[in-house]
Chains A and B, each alone.
Chain A
Amino acid sequence: MGVPLAEALLLPLRGLSTVNEWVLRVASTIAWISLAIMVVIVLVQVVFRYAFNAALPWPDEAARFCMLWMTGLIAPLAYRTGNFVAIDTLHAGLPKAAAHVLSLVLLTLSAIVLWFGIFYGWKHTFGFGGNFNSSSLYVPLGWFGGETIQVKLRYMYGSLLTGLVLMMSVNIELILRELVGLVAPAAKQPKVQGLNAPVDVQ
C-alpha cells in the first residue's frame, strides 16, 4: 500500500530537491562573495580613516547590506544541511517511525513560523517604510553617463524575506523527505549536496 504513495511523493521530492540544490548553490555563491566584499569594505574604511584621516560615509551601511544578504542567502543552505542548532536528545532516542512523526510535527511548527515570517516580511519589504531611500547608499551610474540610483531601504529589507522564502522551500522538501521516510523507509531519496565536512556552529 505504501509503495504507490511513496512513488507519488518521490516525484515532487526529486523535482523540489533538484530546484533547491541549484537555487541554493547560486545563493550560497553570492553569499560568500558578499562576505569577501564585506571584508574589503571595512578595510577600505580603516585605511581611509587612519591613513588619510577622512572617514567615508558609505562603508558602514554597505557592509551591513552585504551581511544581511549573506545571511539571507546562505542560511537556507544551513537549514537544508542540518546545521540549525537544536537539542535533539529526544529525537535521537526515539524509534525510527516515531522519530519521523516527531520530525513532521517539528517541521509543521517551523512552517508556521516561516509562513508568518514571509507574511510580515512581505509587508515590511513592500510596505510604506521600504520606500525610503537609504541614507548613504546609491549606485553612482552618473559616472558612466547614466542617472544616479538611490538605494531604497526595501533592497535591504528583501534579504530576510528572500531567506525566509528559500527556507520555506527547504522546509517543504524536508517534509516530503520525512513522509517518504515514514511510508517507504527503503526508498532511495535524492542526496543533499552541501559541504564536505561539518561546520562549526556554536
Chain B
Amino acid sequence: MLVWFLPVFLVLLVISLPVFFALLFAPGLLLWLNGQERDIALLYRNIYNGIDSFPLMALPFFMLAGELMNRGGITTRLVEFSQALMGHLRGGLAHVNILSSILFAGLSGSAVADTSAIGSTLIPAMEKNGYTRKFAAAVTAASSVIGPIIPPSGIMIIYAYVMGESVAALFLAGIVPGILIGAGLMLVVWLLADRYELPKAERIVQQGATISNVEYWVSFVLLRLNLVAVFVAAGYGLLALSADPATYAVAAGGWTPWVVFAALLIPAHVYLMWLRGRISHDFRVVCKKAVAPLQAPIIILGGILLGVVTPTEASAVAVAYALFVSFFVLGTLKLSDLPDVLKRSALASATVLLLVGAAVAFKTVVSLSHAPEALASFILDLSKDPLVLLFLINILLFVVGMFLDAGPAIIILGPILGPVFVNLGVDPLHFAIIMSVNLTVGLATPPMGLVLFVASSVSGERVETISKAILPLLAVEVLVIFLITYIPALSMTVPRLTGFAQ
C-alpha cells in the first residue's frame, strides 16, 4: 500500500505542485489511508529536525559569501585575469569564459550565480569580438555548471546532509571532475576554433590600469604568504615521504614550522621581485587584482584540508573574508547594500532548507514503505552488472535533470537510489559525485534548464536557440559524466590522499 506514495508523488510533481508540498502531501496521504496517523506526527517532527542542523548552516553562509563577492565586483577581476592568461589563443574569449567559470566556482556554489555574473560581463564582450550571441550564451551556460561541482557546492552540502556523508570528502571529490569538465569544454572550443575561425582577443583589456594602495599591499602580502605555504607544504610532503618518522615529527612539531615559514619569506620575496622584472606592467596589475578574490577558495579549502575548521565554520570565515575584501580592500560595497544581500541569501536558503526538511521527512517514509527494496529488486531484474546499472542510472538521472533542478532532484532521488547502489558495492562517495555531476549538467539541458533560462535572460537570445548551440558542449559533458562513472579514481583520489575517505 505504502509503496504507492512514489507514483502519487510523481503525479503531484507533474501537475506542477511545488516540490515542498508534494514531498509532504504524498507520504502524508498514504500514511493516512494506511491508518498510520501517528506517523504523520513523525513526519512533522522530521521536517523540524531536518532543518535544525549545524552542518546545514554552511548552505546560507556560502550563498551569502558568493553573493557578497559578486556584488563586490570580483567578476570583472576574474575575467580580466583569465583573459590575461588565455585571451591570445584562438577562440580566446570562449576559453576565458570557461576559465572564469572554473575560478568563480571556487567562490560560489551555484551555477545560476555563475551564469548571470559571467554572462553579463562576457556575452557582450564576446559579441563585440565577433562571436555569435547564441554561441556566447551557450558557452556561458555550459561552463557555469562547473560552479556546483568545484567546491564550495550547495547541492553537495544538501546531499551530504540528507545521506549522512562527509561534506569535506564530497567537496574534495568534486575538484577533479569539475576541472575535467572545464578541460573538456576548452577542448571543444579549441576544435571549433579551427573550424569556424573563432577570433583571438587582446590579453590586456585595459591599458595602464592602476591599483589602489590598500589592494596593492594586500595582494603583496597574500602572494608571499601563499608562495611560502606552497614551499612549506612541498617540503613537508617530501620529508614525510623520504625521511624517517622521528625526523619528520621533530621538523613538524613545536615552533619549527613557524621558523621555517618565516625564513622562507625571503626566497619567496626574491623570486617574486625577479618575476616582477620579467612581465609587463599591465599584466602584473591584472594578476595582482585577482589575488584578493582568489584567496577565498584557498582559505575555504585550506581550512577544511588542514582540519582547522569544519565546512560550516569555513563558510562563516568565507563570509567574513568576503566582507573584508569588498569593504576594505576593494571598497566596492556600501553598508546600505548589506540588508538586500542578506535578505536575498536568507530567502534563497530558507526555501532550500524547507525542502531539505521535507526531504528528511520524505526519507523516513521511503524507508517505512520498503520502496528501496522493491526498487532494488526491480533494478536487479534488469541486470546484475553494476556497470550496466550505472549506465542506466545515468540515463535516468539525465532525464530527470532535464525537468528538475539539481537541488530538488538530489533531495528526492538520493534517499531512493543511494542505498540501492551502495548495496551493489558502489562507494557512497563515488555515487554522490555521479549524482551531483549528472544532475548539475542537467541544469544546462533543454527543455527545463535553469541555467539556460538565466543565460537567455542575460543575453536576450531565445532559450530554443541557445539549446541548439549548446549541444556540442553538452556532448562533452556527457562524456565526462561517463568517465567519472567508470573511473572511480577520478573522484576518489583526492579525498583518499588527504585522508577524508578510505
Contact = CB atoms under 8 A, between A and B. Distances in A.
A39 B316 contact: yes
B497 interface: no
A121 to B, nearest CB: 6
A35 B342 contact: yes
A46 B313 contact: yes
B53 interface: yes
A133 interface: no
B309 A46 contact: yes
Interface string A150-163: 00000011001001
Q: Do most interface residues of chain A lie in helix, strand or loop, or is the interface mixed?
A: helix
Given A39-B61, A120-B41, A157-B48, A202 B450 contact: yes
Nearest to A194: B347
Interface string A119-138: 01101100000000000000
B181 interface: no
B47 interface: yes
A123 B24 contact: no
Interface string A23-47: 0000011011111101100110110
Q: Do most interface residues of chain B lie in helix, strand or loop, or is the interface mixed?
A: helix
Given A71-B353, A87-B448, A201-B352, A34 B17 contact: no
A90 B316 CA distance: 40
Interface residues of A, number: 58
Given A63-B57, A85-B355, A123-B41, A202 B407 contact: yes
Contact of B13 (A33, A39, A87, A201): A87
B41 A38 contact: no
A112 B25 contact: yes
A195 B16 contact: no
Contacts of A116: 28, 40, 44
Contacts, number: 195
A28 to B, nearest CB: 6
A6 interface: no
B248 interface: no
Interface stretch (B81-89, B110-118, B123-131, B230-238): B110-118
A96 to B, nearest CB: 15
B21 interface: yes
Given A71-B51, A78-B351, A85-B351, A202 B155 contact: yes
Contacts of B148: 202
B19 A64 contact: no
Interface stretch (A7-15, A102-110, A178-186): A102-110
Contact of B347 (A33, A109, A156, A199): A199
Interface stretch (B182-190, B201-209, B398-406): B398-406
Q: Which 7 A-B pairs have the closest CB atoms?
A: A120-B44, A42-B316, A32-B342, A84-B18, A91-B16, A202-B407, A86-B18
Interface of B: 12-21, 24-25, 28, 40-41, 43-45, 47-48, 51-54, 56-57, 60-61, 63-64, 110-113, 116, 148, 154-155, 308-309, 312-313, 316-317, 319-320, 338-339, 342-355, 357, 403-408, 443, 447-448, 450
Given A110-B18, A160-B47, A202-B154, 17 more contacts: A39-B61, A39-B316, A64-B52, A67-B56, A70-B346, A75-B353, A87-B19, A105-B15, A120-B40, A120-B43, A124-B44, A160-B48, A163-B354, A199-B347, A200-B63, A201-B407, A202-B450
